[in-house]
A and B are shown apart, each in its own frame.
Chain A
Amino acid sequence: MAKNLTGTLQIVTANRLRDGAVVFLTATGEWTSDIRRAAVARDGEAGVRLLGIGTVAAAEHRIVEPYLTAVTEDGDTVMPVSLRERIRAQGLTFAAISADATRYL
């Protein structure tokens, strides 16, 4: 499965161990669910360094399997290149039924 597509800009993402939530590595080595705060690596070397920080931070903060993924800049935030990562960042592409609903629509 393609996790890291070609592209100059990269961020590090993972899932949080305790609840499985999608998280992104920030410039200060913390993990956030807000992609706007993700640290952006601007070339391959910077990407490798960022992943290195991510891997160390993962062990401490109970994160599972951090990896690099390509993004493009989108205003004051970044947007993942792959559909898979966009879905991870933004959620389902359809409306799910709610707990008390007895009809879908």
Chain B
Amino acid sequence: MPLLKFGELTDDRWQRVADDAKPAADAAVIVTFTRFRSEREALLARGAPLGVVLKNIDAVEALAPDVARFGVIALEFPKFSDGRAYSQARLLRERYGFRGELRATGNVLPDQLHHMRRCGFDAFELAKGEPLEAWRRAVHTFSAVYQPTGDGRAPVSALRRRLFAAAAD
């Protein structure tokens, strides 16, 4: 499926590998969290790009020591109304410093893209809807936000402080 990344549709360079299949030696592969936990050494020793996909009940904390080793981390939304992956995403970005591709997969719908972006997702496997239109909406719907996340946008409270400070000058 085409991947929505940075507002564009691109081909997905990553391959999902089943738990019982051997990953090709120099392919960019995504393995499950369970597999990573049990074959960590071997997978890290591969020397080829590695990604991992988590269920929303998987403990992101376990990936903390290794975040720099992943090219992509994919987080699952089993149902769009199950919001656990939003917390997983923020922890990966803001607490454990993950810098690679953070991908939303599963029941990913256009109207949640805004929230996903703010929580640190930058790639989306959209389950339905027109991806570019969904992206446009996610980026442009709100000109201001009320709470800080790792996306670096200054929340309204910070903007007000700047205004106030500027007026005081």
A contacts B: CB pair < 8 Å: no
